Amino acid sequence: LGASGYSFVIARNGREGVELFRQNRPRLVLMDVSMPEMNGIQATTAIREFEGETGGRVPVIAVTAHALKGDMERCIEAGMDDYLSKPVSPDSMIAKVKGWLEREARTSAAA
């Protein structure tokens, strides 16, 4: 993502990810499903609860090596909006991020 022109912050674990979300209010979250302290499902649930209190909804994209049947569904049920299965090419990740940010910009402009 560094070469894409997007700015980003990396969390070391899910708990830190939730805290960074609260502090920075990003336009999009790439969420690793398998993280220490708090996994991506738990972190997304915490983010959605925070958004329920404060308003808004930021797209959360799961990035995971879990590609078994039902894994994508579990991510979506937890409140994630999309899913990327590892290994992820830089081009496909950038395309996914760009697509979601453009979609959010169109939605905001229409509101």
For residues 70 and 56, give the distance between their C-alpha atoms in angstroms, rounded to a whole number: 28
Count Cβ atoms within 10 A of the Cβ of residue 31 and give its class: 0-12 exposed, 13-18 middle, 19 or more buried. Answer: buried
Is residue 107 very low, low, confident or very high in pLDDT (cuts 50, 70, 90)?
confident
**What pLDDT does 63 receive?**
93
State the pTM of this model.
Answer: 0.91
2-105 CATH fold: Rossmann fold (3.40.50)
Sequence spans of domains, the chain? 2-105
Q: Quick one: tokens of 66?
A: 């879990």
Mean pLDDT, range 2-29, rounded to an integer? 94
**C-alpha to C-alpha distances, 66 to 17, 62, 80, 93, 109, nearest whole angstrom:** 20, 10, 14, 16, 35
